[in-house]
Amino acid sequence: MRKSRTYLLLILSYITLLSVSCTKSDAVGTYFHEGVNYNKSTGLDAASKCLYDVRDDEVYPVVELGGKYWMAENLRYETSEAMLNPNNPSKEYGYLYDWHTAKTACPTGWHLSSDADWKALEEVMGMATADLSVLGSRRLLKLSNIKTQTGWRNGDNGSNTTSFSIFPAGRYEAGVFNNIGNYAFFWTSTLNTANESIGRYIFHRFDEVNRAYIDQSIGQSCRCVLN
């Protein structure tokens, strides 16, 4: 009887240990998801190649460009204000967000990319220093290196050699989804006026990145950067 009780206690202890080890959070500062450990503070795996968003179990590729770690797909965290285009070819096109929602949509340890973050990226991709702060269209020599290999209108795809994967997800304005396949639009966290913030957009045909003041109510894509 005593032996049976001992075996039962051992089995119960093993089950308890197993259930704890398979939860999202453990006592050593990591999340465990699909066989991989991710740092609780940053969401990154050991190689800093993937980001795990514990809020919805999404995993994003990560790339280092311009001295910063970027999410290498559009954010797809579903908030109450997020907008999902039903015509998205794949989930990597992500959700669209108005500026105020975008400001707080990134995972813990990450932030909505700023105007300065984008300038650092643009400079390493070949933009002239004198053009970085210019409003309007600015030539980007290596734009192909950060555009996806599929999805752009008229076959104006990129080589995506950096794996940064800019998707032409379009935007949401005045109750309408538009420009999918033609444009990629991105928010930055940088405010211009009470109603406008700085954004970026890319047209399929030209090797240019436009820097513009954009009404904060418009839905655009988001990329997050490690703090």
As a whole number of angstroms, the distance between CA 18 and CA 12 comes to 10
Supply the pLDDT for residue 141.
97
Question: Which two tokens mark 79?
Answer: 């908030």
Q: Per-residue confidence of the chain (227 residues) as pLDDT tens digits?
A: 444 454 444 444 443 433 433 344 554 699 999 999 999 999 999 999 999 999 999 999 999 999 999 999 999 999 999 999 999 999 999 999 999 999 999 999 999 999 999 999 999 999 999 999 999 999 999 999 999 999 999 999 999 999 999 999 999 999 999 999 999 999 999 999 999 999 999 999 999 999 999 999 999 999 999 99
Say how far residue 94 (Cα) sits from the centre of its chain.
8
pLDDT at residue 120, as a whole number = 97
User: Which pTM value belongs to this model?
Assistant: 0.87
Instruction: Provide the pLDDT for residue 26.
Output: 52
CA distance 212 to 187: 10
Are 168 and 181 spatial neighbours (Cβ–Cβ below 8 Å)? yes
pLDDT at 73: 98
How far apart CA 112 and CA 226 sit, in angstroms, is 9
Per-residue confidence (pLDDT) for residue 5, from 0 to 100:
52
Residue 58's DSSP bridge partners are 53
- Under a CB-based contact definition with an 8 Å cutoff, are residues 184 and 111 in contact? no
